[in-house]
Each structure stands twice: as structure tokens, then as C-alpha cells.
Structure 1
Amino acid sequence: MSLGEMKMKMKMKLSELLCITVLVTSGSGSPYERKAPAVKEKRVQYAAWDDVNVLAHGLLQLGQSLKEHVDKTKGQIRDISVKLRVFNGSVNELASLTRRLHVESEVLKARAESLEERENRIRNMSDLQDKTGELLRDRQIVHDRIGHLEETVEKIVQRDRPALTSGNHSDARTIQNRRIDKLVERIKQQQEKRDKQNIRIRALQNQIQMRKEKLNPSTVRIEQQDTPN
């Protein structure tokens, strides 16, 4: 039964009790009482005992109904209080979860930025390694050219040696010297180019080493290998 229905029922009972009270107080007295003439003094009329019992019984029922209504209302209030406490607990838990998710989101964001920076460093280090490999290949090419030029000089010397031992060795020596000077100049240029490449290789290797240590300073301790001159 809803609260509105209970209130309507109580109002109906109160109306019935009021009607009974009015009827009792306005009714006649005891049937054994003699009727006095109209001109004589009016006597006080009392309600019959049965009517009083009916009224008392109605009041008792009204009191019981009110007590049941109060008890039921208290129970509903307790249920509402329990639900409110549960709701407040859920709200607090949701707020705590929201804060924790926000903190975790910030941590993940910082980690993502760190990983992105690490990826960029690795990419740059890979580029440096590619450049270093290219310079090493160029250095090997220069080294091979120097060896080839030295072999060429040796062949020229061996080829012109008979001419030097003959009578007309002055012109042959001059020609040979010119050729040797050109070859020596070319060898010198190749050596200078190789020295510059060695310097660039060392610089790139140092950069790679520094970036490796930044990526993992606690474990990466790779010694730079000596580059041959």
C-alpha cells in the first residue's frame, strides 16, 4: 500500500469516528429514562455504553493504524538511508577510480613521450651507423687505391730500370721522376682524404656511443674501437 492510500484510509477512519461521535452525542439517553415535559429543565444526556465502546474501539484501531504507518515510514526511511549510504560509497569509489585513471593516464602519456624520444634517438643512431659504414667503405676504397698506386709506381720503376742503366738514362730518369711525382701527389691526396674520413668516422662513433649511453646508461658501456690510420 502506498503512502497516499494509507493517508486516505486514515482520513476515512477519522471521518467515520467523527460521525459516530456526533451521532452518539446527539442521540437519546437511556431507554429507561422518563421523558420530562418540555417546559421543565433539560437534563444532561450521556452516550450509551455501547456507543462509548464503539468509539473506543475506533480510536484503538486508529492508534494501531497510526502506529503501523509510523513503523512503516521508519522502515522506509531506514531503507532510504541505507541506499543513500550505498550511493555515497559508490560515488566516492567512482571519484577515486576517476582520480586513479587520471594519474595512470598521465603516467602513460609521459611514458609514451619517453618512448617516442627514445625511438627518435634510435633512428638518429641508426642514421649515424649508416654514415659510419659508408665512410668505412670509402676508406677501404681509398686504401685500395693507394695500394694500387704504390703498385703502379713499383711497376714503372721496374719497367724503366733498363733504360736507366743504358746510355741515355737522363731523359728516362726525368720522365720517370715526373710520373713518380704525379703518383706520389695522387697518393698524398688519397691519404689526406683517408685522414679526413678517419676523423669523421671517429666523430660519428663518439656520437653513437653517447646516444647509446643516453638510451641505457646503466648497462651500455661499449668502448669505442680504435680506428686504423
Structure 2
Amino acid sequence: MRGAPSAGAALVLCAATAGLLSAQGPAPPEPPRFASWDEVNVLAHGLLQLGHGLREHVEHTRGQLGALERRLGACGAACEDPETLHSLQTQLKAQNTRIEQLLQKVAQQQRHLDKQNLRIQKLQTQVGLLAPAHLDHRLTKAARRKRLPKMAQLAGPTHNTSRPHRLPRDCQELFETGERQSGLFQIQPQGSPPFLVNCEMTSDGGWTIIQRRHDGSVDFNQPWKAYKVGFGDLQGEFWLGLEKVHSIVGDRDSRLAVQLQDWEGNAESLQFPMHLGGEDTAYSLQLTAPVASKLGASAVAPSGLSLPFSTWDQDHDLQGDKNCAKSLSGGWWFGTCSHSNLNGQYFRSIPRQRQQRKKGIFWKTWRGRYYPLQATTILIQPTAAWAAS
């Protein structure tokens, strides 16, 4: 009979939990405190454990009572006091009834907790999808607050008050207004909505970073649509997006800078002229003959070569019998599958298998096809700025 107080206590605890989850008082609710997802997960996990614990306790107590009832039934005529036996049996039946009620409540609470857990998971997924946009909104506000007043001062008070401020077209235009600090800025190329970019200010002007990799935190094996609009974190690893790059470059000739780093701490920096076509050309990268040869062009006209962009779901590479993006990894301006791929698979250590290594990040003319690089950065800048510097 010692199981009865424990069952009663479990019933009280279960009822209290139900009250916390479903009760609504007439008083107006207090302003919500937004807990972190870790706190929400801990709470949800604790509630689920409570439900499991109650169920186990009830089933254990019920087993003990059943065993006692069987023992009393076996006693039968051997018991000298029929009234005592009858009283014990009555108490056991009452306990069984309470146990059944408690089991029903526990099952009800378990279903409620399962639903709450599913809601939490759904909310986490929705917040995860909204987080990049929320971050972009916060960073945009910060960029306006920290950068735009400084640019307005450079333009002069008359210009600032006579007409609304115009956002810069790219990082080079920011540089020309006097900005010398690298970081996140909002720009608006001609014919494009505003968007956030990461600028690198150097002695020869402002560069717009269009790709950065250094820790493998972002998966670059993405389809065409992702490479078109961009993905990743501007403060970490990211691909800016082919459509945004094309809007920055426009009809202007530009130069492309590629910064490479190996696992021994060595670095290499390359710069070459380029022009980028629109989506109707598969965002073709137009290069001069010497540069095109380094990127795998087997035959190059004197005027250069046009390398279209390829992904595993849209094959535009120059390798007729193979889809380079599917064979290797990531999207890239593939000439063939063996000269360069800065969006390949990220390896935190150099794989032993040669076939695996060629799927990594490589630039053949520097460290070779089978050396997966540790970090890369790709930047663009208008050629006019280069000539003027």
C-alpha cells in the first residue's frame, strides 16, 4: 500500500503541469519575455521527460499493486479474517481505479507535450528561414546609421538637405566619397534594388567581395537558383549571387581579384580583367586569352574566351562528355573539370584518396589540382577605377 501516496503525488504533479500548459486567467497577460531557443529546448525536453517519468511511475506502481492482488487472491481461504481480506480487496480496486485515471491523464499530457514539441520544431524551422532576412535587416539599419551620416557629411550640408541621399553603386563609389573603413555597406547598382555587401578598402580603391571561404561552415554544393540569388553569411562564408554581381558590373569592364591560401600559411593573389554577362548568357565570364588558358580553355580566340557558369542542375561547361559541377562539387565557371574550382568541397584536412581531393577547392596553376586550399576570397572592382588609380 506504499504506492498510493506516490501515485497521488504524481497525480498532483501531472495536474499542476496541465495547469501550466493550458490554464488562462482573466488578468491581462504580462509583456512576453523572449527566451532563447536553448531555453525553449530545455523546457520542452523537461516537459517530455516529465511525461515519460509519470508514465513509468504509474506502470511500475500498477505492477506492484497487481502482484499484491494476486498474492491476496492466492491466500483465499487460508486467511482467517474474511473482513480484512475484503477490505484489502476493496482498497486495491479503488487504487486500480485511481491508477487508470492517472494513466489517462498522463496519456493526455503526453499527447499535449508531443504537440507542443512539434510546434516548437516548426517555429525553429520558420525562424531559421527568416534569420538571414532578419540579420540583413539589422545590418542594413546599422549600415545606414553608421555609414550614411558620414557619407552625407562628405557630400556637404547643402547636398544633404537639398535632395534625398543616393546609395552608392558599389564599394569603389564608396571609396571615392572618402570611405576608408572595410565592412558591411548598403549599395544600389543602377536598375537594382538595394542590398548589403562586404567591402574591402585598399590603397587602390574599394573592392566588393563576391565570395569568401575559410572554415567550411557553408555548403557550396548548391543548385542554379541558389548561385543566382546568393547564400551564406556576409560576415562569414558566402556567395554574393550572380545576379547581384552582374548588377554591380553592368556593362562596365571590371577586374577580378582572386586571393588564395594553402594550409601551410602561403598566400597568392591574382588579378585579371573580366566582363560578366547576364543570365541569358549563363552569366558568362569573358576573359582575355592568357587568363582563359589558365582556367582550362583548350582553344582561345585572340579576343579571349567566354566561360559560362555551371551547376549540377544546369550544365554549361566546355567539357562536352561530363557535367563538371556534378562530377566535382559546387558551381563554377568551368572550362574543363581540371583547372580551377573555388566553390568545391571544403576539406578540413587533405584527404588521402586522390579522387576525393580533386573534388575540393583548387587552382591548378598555383598548388595543383589535387591540393585542396584552406581559404579563398574573390573580389571585383570597375576597371575605370583601376585606370584612374
- What band does the TM-score fall into relative to the shorter chain? 0.3 to 0.5
Q: Which has the higher strand share?
A: 2
Whose RCO is larger (CA < 8 A, sep 6+)?
A: 1
Q: Which has the higher helix share?
A: 1
Name the larger-Rg structure: 1
Q: Normalising by the residue count of structure 1, what TM-score does the alignment of the two structures yield?
A: 0.35
